[in-house]
Amino acid sequence: MIYSGVFLASKERPRILLLVLVLTAAVGARLVAMTLNRIIDREIDKHNPRTIKRELPSGTMNLKESYGVLLFGLVLYLISAKMISDFCFYLSPIPLVVFIIYPYLKRFTPLAHFGVGMGLAMGPLGGFFAVTGSVEHIGIALLLPLFNLFWATGFDIIYSTLDEEFDKKAGLFSFPSRFGKKKALQISGVLHILAFLVLLALVLISLKALIALPFLLLSGFLLWFEQHKAEDVELAFFKINIVVGFSVLFMILMSI
């Protein structure tokens, strides 16, 4: 989705170097977010049958090695941000704060799912800033992160249904553990309806291109299909979401 922000901001074809730097920044940020999550949750993961085989709980990677991975991702992210622009470098700590805070949220509030959504929502906004180098015209960019917020929060709720029973026993907060699986999936469905409405607003307000309509309808169908197949988390979370991301990207790319 970060490239969706890049192309939304671009008035001409982006430079190859910029696209590469955006990619390396995204890879570094993703590595930092995932590694922090694994480090912070390592004790929880030891007791969860679903996560006990992950690198830290299983012992295939020690804590020192994981901090090495974290440092590599951090350096890659910060250097890439600096090479894009000083503006991006100055903003680069903001996602890091979110990455640190959101793994702790499930210890205190079911709204933890929105932490994941917030983390992923910054991707397209970062791509937009990589092109513009300023907050000028940011209004046209805000719909894309808002879509990501609703979309990612919704699919994180679907993913969390795998841990409903464990979360209850461990005293962790998630929508399935606090409200039950049925109600949690209803909330996820509402969030995905909101995500589609935001995409519709993006097409009407910013893209204004008829060619965007097929991709908009495809995205809407995929969001519905994800909810329809929510019981099959492997399909709904890992496979359908990939196609949703590419559908939105091509919607923007073809429109401009």
Residue 50: how many other CB atoms lie within 10 Å: 10
Cβ pair 247, 2 in contact under 8 A: no
Say yes or no to pLDDT of 55 above 90: no
Q: How far is CA 214 from CA 144, 203, 221, in A?
A: 18, 11, 10
Domain ranges within the chain, ordered by starting residue:
2-255
Cβ pair 206, 221 in contact under 8 A: no
Rounded distance between C-alpha atoms, residue 35 and residue 214, angstroms: 37
Pick from 175, 174, 152: nearest CA to 241: 152
Say yes or no to pLDDT of 32 above 90: yes
Say yes or no to pLDDT of 225 above 80: yes
pTM: 0.90
The pLDDT, as a whole number, for residue 87 is 93
Pick from 84, 86, 79, 96: nearest CA to 29: 96
Pick from 212, 213, 220: nearest CA to 195: 220
**CATH code of the region 2-255:** 1.10.357.140
pLDDT in tens, 74-90: 999 999 999 999 999 99
The average pLDDT across 169-192 equals 92
What is the band of 13 on the pLDDT scale with cuts at 50, 70, 90?
confident
Say yes or no to pLDDT of 220 above 90: yes
Say yes or no to pLDDT of 94 above 90: yes
The average pLDDT across 56-71 equals 91
The pLDDT, as a whole number, for residue 29 is 94
The 3-state DSSP composition of the chain as helix, strand, coil percent (nearest 5) reads: 80, 0, 20
The average pLDDT across 36-41 equals 92
The pLDDT, as a whole number, for residue 33 is 94
pLDDT in tens, 122-156: 999 999 999 888 877 777 778 999 999 999 999 99
Q: What is the residue-averaged pLDDT of the chain?
A: 90
What is the band of 28 on the pLDDT scale with cuts at 50, 70, 90?
very high
Rounded distance between C-alpha atoms, residue 132 and residue 146, angstroms: 19
- Name the one residue in this structure whose structure tokens are 């993961």: 45
- Name the one residue in this structure whose structure tokens are 């299983």: 58
Residues constituting the chain: 256
Q: How far is CA 142 from CA 8, 50, 174, in A?
A: 11, 36, 27
